[in-house]
Amino acid sequence: MSAPQLVVHRDKELMAQAAAARLITKIVDAQAARGSASVVLTGGRNGNGLLAALAASPARDAIDWSRLDLWWGDERFLPEGDPERNVTQAREALLDKVELDPSRVHAMPASDGPYGDDADSAAAGYAAELAAAAGPEDHGPVPTFDVLMLGVGPDTHVASLFPELPAVRETERTVVGVHGAPKPPPTRVSLTLPAIRAAREVWLLAAGEDKAEAAEIALSGAGEIQAPAAGAYGRSRTLWLLDAAAASKLPRALYPPASA
């Protein structure tokens, strides 16, 4: 496991714009190298801020949107079209503005979908979809994602893996149902740490004063059960993208010079 890299930007807006530019380049390079790219999206303000910045980027259509596989790190287990669902918010921010191949957009099941209101069955269904997309060159029953993005919660949660709850302790399954989540809604579907760790690169997004303590805890040696963000790392890269406010409590040795 490589040590996490940190990039600190002046403020939330610059972090979103710079992260969007970084993602465009990563996708373009993956498509040039392998003919397609695979990205895992995250919900929340930072995740959606990045998608909105990408939608507004002049370089946006350097991406061949028809050769991009999109997955989700987690989903609020609500009916299709609910404004609180991560996929609904991603569609508004970006997906409805670009020409994606619908068969390559892998939304997590809704609570009124084929699995009904059973989040655990929905999780098993998504795990099966991931396994079906995995190839012999992949590491386990998930495709090798080029980039897996995770917003970081103020309690250091990532995806819907909350401190001390059962989902963060999962070591076998790739997707689980989450019940009693402290962040509403209480019922969710989430990738687990083993699935997250199959990604080539994991990018953790943390902007705002309310993330400063979480960044400090997760980057100062806390265990993954108490601080799930500390357990989120990629096979070849783990990158924390912060703004100065979220980085303000980091030990000086960890805190690289902020960008201009």
Ligand X SMILES: O=C(O)[C@H](O)[C@@H](O)[C@H](O)[C@H](O)COP(=O)(O)O
Q: Does 45 bind ligand X (CB under 6 A)?
A: yes
76 binds ligand X (CB under 6 A): yes
The sheet with strand 147-151 has its strands ordered as 5-9, 237-243, 201-206, 147-151, 37-41, 68-72
Alpha helices in the chain (DSSP H): 12-34, 44-56, 86-93, 119-133, 166-169, 193-196, 212-218
Q: In what order do the strands lie in the sheet with 175-178?
A: 74-76, 188-191, 175-178
- CB closer to ligand X out of 101 and 117: 117
Q: Is 46 in the site for ligand X (CB under 6 A)?
A: yes
Question: Does the protein bind ligand X through residue 204 (CB under 6 A)?
Answer: no
Smallest distance, ligand X to C-beta of residue 42, A: 5
85 binds ligand X (CB under 6 A): no
Scanning the structure block, which residue is given the tokens 């939608």? Answer: 55
Q: Are the CB atoms for 215 and 247 separated by under 8 Å?
A: yes
Q: Of 16, 90, 159, 167, which lies in the binding site for ligand X, with binding defined by CB under 6 A? A: 159
Residue with tokens 């400063």: 212
Kindly state the smallest distance separating residue 161's Cβ from ligand X, in Å.
Answer: 8
Residues 6+ apart with CB under 8 A from 5: 237, 238, 239, 240
Residue 146 vs 243, nearer CB to ligand X: 243
Q: Does 125 bind ligand X (CB under 6 A)?
A: no
Q: Of residues 4, 109, 141, 153, which one binds ligand X by CB under 6 A?
A: 153
Q: Which range, of 89-97, 151-159, 226-234, 246-254, touches ligand X by CB under 6 A?
A: 151-159
Residues near ligand X (CB under 6 A): 42-47, 74, 76, 86, 151, 153, 158-159, 183
